[in-house]
Amino acid sequence: MRKIILFFLWLPLLWLLLLLLWILTPIYFFEATCELLFEKYRYPTSSRIIAECSICLEGITTVKETKLRCGHPFHDNCIMRWLREHNRCPMCRAGI
């Protein structure tokens, strides 16, 4: 009889523990998944990336960049193609 009473006393604690594990597992899984996903988008610390071209979304690693009057940097080829069709900055839409 005593074993049955002890079993029923510990049963709610066991359910509470299982519920806690069930709630917390997706949170830890989500954080780990995000860390793995964003790891491939980080720039290496040893690279010499000055800025990122917002047209092609690649890093600008050389000094051959074009800055518009608004100060946004782009690759020379990217901004020349853009300016053939538009007369505004692709980032802030400031007039050229």
What pLDDT is stored for residue 86 in this prediction?
Answer: 82
Q: What is the mean pLDDT of residues 31-48?
A: 47
Collect all residues with Cβ–Cβ distance below 8 Å to 83 and sequence separation of at least 6: 96
Let me know: does 67 contact 92? Beta carbons within 8 Å. no
* Strands (DSSP E) found in 1-96: 51-52, 59-60, 65-67, 73-75
Provide the pLDDT for residue 40.
44
Q: For residues 25-51, give the mean pLDDT.
A: 51
Could you tell me which residue, 22 or 32, shows the higher pLDDT?
A: 22
Amino acid residing at 51? A
CB neighbourhood size of 89 (10 A):
20
CB 95 within 8 A of CB 88: yes
Instruction: Tell me which residue of 93, 79, 26 sits closest to 51, measured CA to CA.
Output: 79
Question: For the chain, what is the mean pLDDT?
Answer: 71
For the segment 67-89, the average pLDDT, to the nearest whole number, is 82
pLDDT value for 27:
57
pLDDT for 52: 82
